[in-house]
Amino acid sequence: MEAIMSFLQNKRARNIVIAVLLFFCLAGIIIHAVLNAPVPPPPGALRAVICKKCQKLQVSRIVDPQNPKVKCSYCGGDVGMAWKCGHCGYVYYVVPRKIDAERLSTMQRFVKVEAMRSCPNCGESRDVRPMSVDEVPGFKRHTEER
């Protein structure tokens, strides 16, 4: 008991111990914050794409839909966004193209967009949609990407 009382009365020793304890606490907090810092997600979004050459479906991270710059992981060919026809179930690719909006009327632009995305198998244009990544066979979404 006397040793504790003499330690508490010695201001210099007491202040050194407090400074060392504060240093270790702050160092632990900083190390924890650095190790557990949130990692920003990679740019772009996961999209279902289909190869123009081998027609295989895959999931790729697309930054610019107008110019995917992604190659097929199977054959190295160019890929396009995968679309699925709700009428016949056909899966095909659509490469978005720029439409010269200044030269065309609204109805002409609408007709061009409808022609671009219509199903090549049955011609349906109203019941088509971009394919979800969850529909790609063999793809399992990681929980942190949801």
pTM for the structure as a whole: 0.61
Residue 142 pLDDT > 70, yes or no?
no
Model pLDDT for residues 12-58, shown as the tens digit of each residue:
888 999 999 999 999 999 999 999 988 888 888 888 998 888 989 99
Cβ atoms of residues 49 and 60 within 8 Å = yes
Torsion, Cα of 122, 123, 127, 133 (10° steps): 70
Model pLDDT for residues 62-102, shown as the tens digit of each residue:
888 777 788 888 888 888 888 899 889 899 887 666 777 77
Q: Where are the domains of the chain?
A: 2-35, 45-137
Place of tokens 């011609």: 123
Cβ atoms of residues 49 and 79 within 8 Å = yes
Residue 144 pLDDT > 80, yes or no?
no
Cβ atoms of residues 131 and 83 within 8 Å = yes
Can you name the residues that pair with 80 across neighbouring β-strands? 50
Place of tokens 């949801």: 146
